[in-house]
Amino acid sequence: MFDVVVVGAGPAGSMAAKTAAEKGLSVLLVEKRQEIGTPVRCAEGISKDSLSRFVEIDRKWIAAEVVGAKIYAPDMTEVVLAEEMAGNEVGFVLERKIFDRHLARLAAKAGAEVFVKTTALGFERTEGGLKVKLRRLGEDWEVETKILIGADGVESRIGREAGIIKTLKMSEIESCAQYLISGIDIDEKYTYFYLGNDLAPGGYAWIFPKGDKSANVGIGILPSLAKMPAKQYLDRFIEKVGVRGKIVEFVAGAVPVYGEISTAVTDNIMLCGDAAYHSDPITGGGIANALAAGYHAGVVAAEAVEAKDYSAGFLRRYDERWKSDFGLKLRRNKKLQEFFLKLDDATLNRLARSISGKKIEEMSVQAIIMELLKTNPSLIEVLKDFFS
């Protein structure tokens, strides 16, 4: 019998497995794909701080460092967010193929068993815990465990089977397409974001540099508002802004933009990362919260094994941890997303013009909102929930 079975070897799952194994638990980490980290389904951006909280930075998996972000309104009015202090890099664009494997190896080094090409089909409750049904290279395999951690991504089966989460509606998921473009001519010190109801309904388009004149060029849209598939919006965006270069890789994906779920646990089970809809509802960023959630789940798993208590009541310690870490931000940014969804292109242009050219010295959503409030005091009434 394992102490913990973790399903999914993305950042959340590997971090949970690593943390639990470091605390002396017997851990099995399973990944349905034969290769960890591919296919990539991500724009790969993360802030330096949220990464270095949990992992020692290794240049092997840093594709690019950025010092700021440039945001474009529908009429191409530019808003620049830039870290003024030279040398203090604020953002990384990762090479997820290498990063995810690195994390899985850290989990293995810490003592976790790692099995790839192994799918979790479901689970059954038993006297002492759970029986997890796996399929490995086509063969059925059952393992018993005290705790099951579902880090199985946006398409999580465990969360739904356990009754923890509801299926996402079309207004709660970003449908994304992205190209890795080689030979692109951009200032590689910045990430670029493009807004517009026609350009990217309910989402945005992005250009994230990946070094050596290459970049992730992608788009996310809300299916409830979109009139065509994300890939077509992406092709139109590339045409419109005149992105040149050669497409050397193609990526598709989906990101939950749900906000905070009330609980990520039930008896014997915890969810983390995209499986718990932990990705940010406004930026779509998911790696930082996934790492944090995985860490917290690993810690609470160890406490539960120590206390021999795997009840939902005990595992709520995990809820308390992830909620106090980033729950408020999920709630706040969900409200902000709802606010931005109501703005038409003319209003977006006007707001962007009101702060264009201003010095915004922090690369965050919060910094933009603060600047908007300074120049548009009337927004205080609308955005007061943001501060409550």
122 strand-pairing partners: 133
The amino acid at residue 368 is: I
> Which two three-digit tokens encode residue 231?
């890939």
Q: Of the two residues 8 and 294, which places its CB atom closer to another protein in the complex? A: 8
**What kind and span of H or E run contains 3?**
strand 2-7
Question: Between residues 186 and 251, which has the closer beta carbon with respect to another protein?
Answer: 251
Cα 345 from chain centre? 27
Task: State the minimum distance, in angstroms, from the CB of residue 220 to another protein.
Answer: 9
Cβ of residue 174: shortest distance to another protein, in angstroms? Answer: 9
User: Is residue 354 a contact point for another protein (CB under 8 A)?
Assistant: no
Q: Which two tokens stand for residue 375?
A: 């120049």
Those residues whose C-beta lies under 8 Å from the C-beta of residue 125, and which sit 6 or more positions away, are: 131, 267, 268
Q: Which of 18, 32, 96, 296 binds another protein (CB under 8 A)?
A: 32
* Range in contact with another protein (rule: CB under 8 A) among 12-20, 162-170, 317-325, 334-342: 162-170
By three-state DSSP, how is residue 79 classified? strand
- Cβ(107)–Cβ(17) below 8 Å: yes
Interface segment toward another protein; rule CB under 8 A; list 27-35, 139-147, 203-211, 344-352:
27-35
- The C-alpha atoms of residue 178 and residue 263 are separated, in whole angstroms, by 32
If binding is defined by CB under 8 A, does position 170 make contact with another protein?
yes
Near another protein by CB under 8 A: residue from 14, 19, 145, 175: 175
Minimum Å gap between C-beta 137 and another protein is: 11
Q: Is the dihedral of CA 253, 161, 14, 113 positive or negative?
A: negative
93, 58, 54, 8: which is closest to 276 by C-alpha? 8
d(CA 71, CA 358): 13
Q: CB under 8 A: which stretch of 26-34, 81-89, 102-110, 328-336 binds another protein?
A: 26-34
Does 101 engage in binding with another protein (CB under 8 A)? no
Query: What whole-number distance in Å separates Cα of residue 11 and Cα of residue 18?
Result: 10
Smallest gap from Cβ 135 to another protein, in A, equals: 9
Q: Is 167 in the site for another protein (CB under 8 A)?
A: yes
Select from 151-159, 196-204, 284-292, 358-366 the region that touches another protein (CB under 8 A): 151-159
Judged by CB under 8 A, does residue 223 bind another protein? yes
3-state SS, 106-158, equals HHHHCCCEEECCEEEEEEEECCCCEEEEEEECCEEEEEEEEEEEECCCCCCCH
**Residue 279 touching another protein (CB under 8 A):** no
Residue 41 engages another protein in binding (rule: CB under 8 A): yes
Q: Is 117 in the site for another protein (CB under 8 A)?
A: yes
The stretch near another protein (CB under 8 A) out of 1-9, 228-236, 290-298, 346-354 is 228-236
Task: Please report how close the Cβ of residue 232 comes to another protein at its closest, in angstroms.
Answer: 7
Shortest CA distance to 220 belongs to which of 201, 247, 239, 192?
A: 201
Binding test (CB under 8 A) with another protein, winner from 11, 68, 150, 253: 253
Using the rule CB under 8 A, is 229 a contact of another protein? Answer: yes
**Tokens representing 137?**
């290279």
Residues near another protein, by CB under 8 A: 32-34, 39, 41, 117, 119, 153-157, 160, 167-170, 173, 175-177, 223, 226, 228-232, 250-254, 256
